[in-house]
Amino acid sequence: MSIDVGGHLKAVRMMYGLSQRELAKRAGVTNGTISLIEQNRVSPSVSSLKKVLDGVPMSLADFFTLDLQETPQVFYAREELADIGDRDVSLRLVAAKRTNRAMTIMHERYRPKADTGADMLSHKGEEGGIILTGHIELTVGGQSRVLGPGDAYYFASAVPHRFRNVGEEPCEIVSASTPPTF
Amino acid sequence: MSIDVGGHLKAVRMMYGLSQRELAKRAGVTNGTISLIEQNRVSPSVSSLKKVLDGVPMSLADFFTLDLQETPQVFYAREELADIGDRDVSLRLVAAKRTNRAMTIMHERYRPKADTGADMLSHKGEEGGIILTGHIELTVGGQSRVLGPGDAYYFASAVPHRFRNVGEEPCEIVSASTPPTF
DNA sequence: GAAAATTGTCTATTATCCTAAACACTTCCC
DNA sequence: GGGAAGTGTTTAGGATAATAGACAATTTTC
């Protein structure tokens, strides 16, 4: 239910190899403060927690976003990438089975004339990618552009967007989006 | 410098069309508390801020991650990708100038024998990628594996890791990491 | 229009957090 | 062994935040 701020702080401090006193000095608080927080015997004010994190340094956003668990599978052979595409658009997904991941990384392949259609579904988050081969027309909000090999894009997923292969050859893209959409 | 917690809370409350008293009732705190917080006359404890946000409801992570601005550049020509690598490792970065982005997407190029060294710096977050050409030996924690074209990886950045081009040809990777490291 | 309800703000008291200093414990070093 | 320097923990007192309730201003209701 409630967040284990203390354990969280301790984990962060450990990650950076700092002692309570060392961190306290950098943050401009007393070591006792850090001890009490780490034991969850007090709930720090936002301002003091910020002071402490400034000593790391780490933002409040990162602190609360951070989650600490063990890493499951790390390596994925080509054959293990989940293929969730259809006939025109092939999507090969990294770490598909994994839950609680922060991103979706995909190898996308668009056949000539393939078109995602106007995506009015505005999911929140951000996505970006790099074009490997071929040409794709990307429309984001009002803007439109044809991108080729080496070109890239990055936008907030909330804005309606559309991919269309306008070339004669297949178009390949490696993309990433956060939070994961698959 | 310091985060405008009060203004932030007010914006969130407004977004949901709640009055101070209404939110206070849902959150189980007094309206005065919310008034004082919104004026930044106090810095709430994490526990009380959490109580307040539970009334919305919104997570602490979302609260601190939330930011209210417009999307800048979307398209990036090949030439616009920031190149921040050295002689052995070339890193072409998407959306480098952009601040407050959620991810870093990169086109990485490792020369033969290129080696990042044992990365003991444990930055938090997650990263993953897909190998385009060549072969790379990736070591994550205790595990090690040679990956080739089409293979992929995904792991928590906190775990010490190392990339080493063990082949005779250059190795190309498109990777993404969150939160952004550059 | 006036009463009633709803808004955000303010103040005195209570509850909580933060500090400073001491405590107990381990590790290192001669 | 015995300091000396490191670690995390604890406690009394001063600083800060949360509460309950009153206040003034606006909106609603009839």
Query: Is omega for the bond preceding A149 within 30 degrees of 0, making it cis?
Result: no
- Is the Cβ–Cβ distance between A43 and B47 less than 8 Å? yes
- HEC string of chain B equals CCCCHHHHHHHHHHHCCCCHHHHHHHHCCCHHHHHHHHCCCCCCEHHHHHHHHHCCCCCHHHHHHCCCCCCCCCEECHHHCEECCCCCEEEEEECCCCCCCCCEEEEEEECCCCECCCECCCCCCEEEEEEEECCEEEEECCEEEEECCCCEEEEECCCCEEEECCCCCCEEEEEEEECCCC
Q: What is the pLDDT of residues B18-76, one digit of tens each?
A: 889 888 888 889 999 999 999 898 999 999 999 999 887 888 888 887 654 333 445 55
B21 touches strand D (CB under 7 A): no
Contact, A40 CB vs strand C, < 7 Å: no
Structure tokens at B134: 């060549």
Strands B126-133 and B152-156: antiparallel
Q: What is the pLDDT of residue B78?
A: 59
Strand C contacts (CB < 7 A) among B residues 72-91?
Answer: none
Segment among A35-39, A97-101, B3-7, B108-112 with least mean pLDDT: A97-101
> Amino acid letter at B98?
R
What does the pLDDT look like over B119-144, one tens digit per residue? 544 455 677 778 878 888 877 655 66
- Backbone dihedral angles phi then psi of residue A75, each to the nearest 5 degrees: -100, 145
Other beta carbons within 10 angstroms of residue A95's beta carbon come to 24
Question: Testing the interface with B: which of A74, A101, A137 to mutate, by most B Cβ within 10 A?
Answer: A74
Q: Is the CB of B43 under 7 A from strand D?
A: yes
Q: Do B140 and A71 touch (CB under 8 A)?
A: yes
At the topology level of CATH, where does B78-178 sit? Jelly Rolls (2.60.120)
Residues on chain A touching B94 (C-beta within 8 angstroms): 128-130, 152-154
Q: How is residue A112 annotated by DSSP? A: T
* Cα–Cα distance, A108 to A158 (Å, whole number): 20
Nucleotide showing the shortest C1' distance to residue B13 CA: C8
Residues of chain A neighbouring B121 (CB-CB closer than 8 A): none
Q: Where in chain A is the domain with CATH 2.60.120.10?
A: 78-178
Most trustworthy range by pLDDT among A86-90, B15-19, B155-159:
B15-19
Q: Which residues pair with A119 in a beta bridge?
A: A161
| Per-residue model confidence (pLDDT) at position B101 | 60
Per-residue pLDDT of chain A (182 residues; tens, 9 = 90+): 467 898 888 888 887 778 899 889 888 899 999 999 998 999 999 999 999 998 888 888 888 876 544 444 555 666 555 666 666 676 666 666 555 566 777 788 888 777 776 554 445 567 777 887 888 887 765 567 787 787 777 776 655 677 888 878 888 888 887 766 66
Buried b / exposed e along A3-21 (16+ C-beta atoms within 10 A): bebbebbbbbbebbebebe
Q: What is the pLDDT of residue A117?
A: 65
Computed over every residue of chain B, the mean pLDDT equals 75
**Strand D contacted by B178 CB (< 7 A):** no
Tokens of A93: 């997904």
User: What pLDDT score was predicted for residue A34?
Assistant: 92
B64-to-A38, A50, A62, B51 alpha-carbon distances in Å: 21, 11, 8, 15
Residue where the block lists tokens 């995904």: B154
Q: Are A27 and B32 in contact (CB under 8 A)?
A: no
Does the CA dihedral A36-A38-A42-A48 come out positive or negative? positive
In CATH terms, the fold of domain A5-65 is 434 Repressor (Amino-terminal Domain) (1.10.260)
Alpha carbons A153 and B74: distance in angstroms, whole number? 6
Burial class (CB in 10 A: 0-12, 13-18, 19+), A142: exposed
Q: Is the CB of B50 under 7 A from strand C?
A: no
CB A175 within 8 Å of CB A108: yes
Residue range(s) of every CATH 1.10.260.40 domain in chain A: 5-65
The SS3 of residue A100 is: coil
The predicted pLDDT at position B90 comes to 67
CA B91/CA B109 separation, integer angstroms: 7
* Nearest alpha-carbon partner for B138 in B127, B126, B123, B153: B153
The amino acid that residue A24 corresponds to is A
Is the bond preceding B57 in cis, omega lying within 30 degrees of 0? Answer: yes
By Cβ distance, the residue of A103, A140, A145 closest to B176 is A103
**In this complex, which of A44, A105, A178 lies closest to B46 when CB atoms are compared?**
A44
Q: How many CB atoms lie within 10 A of CB B95?
A: 24
Q: Would you call B65 and A61 a contact, using CB atoms and an 8 Å cutoff? A: yes
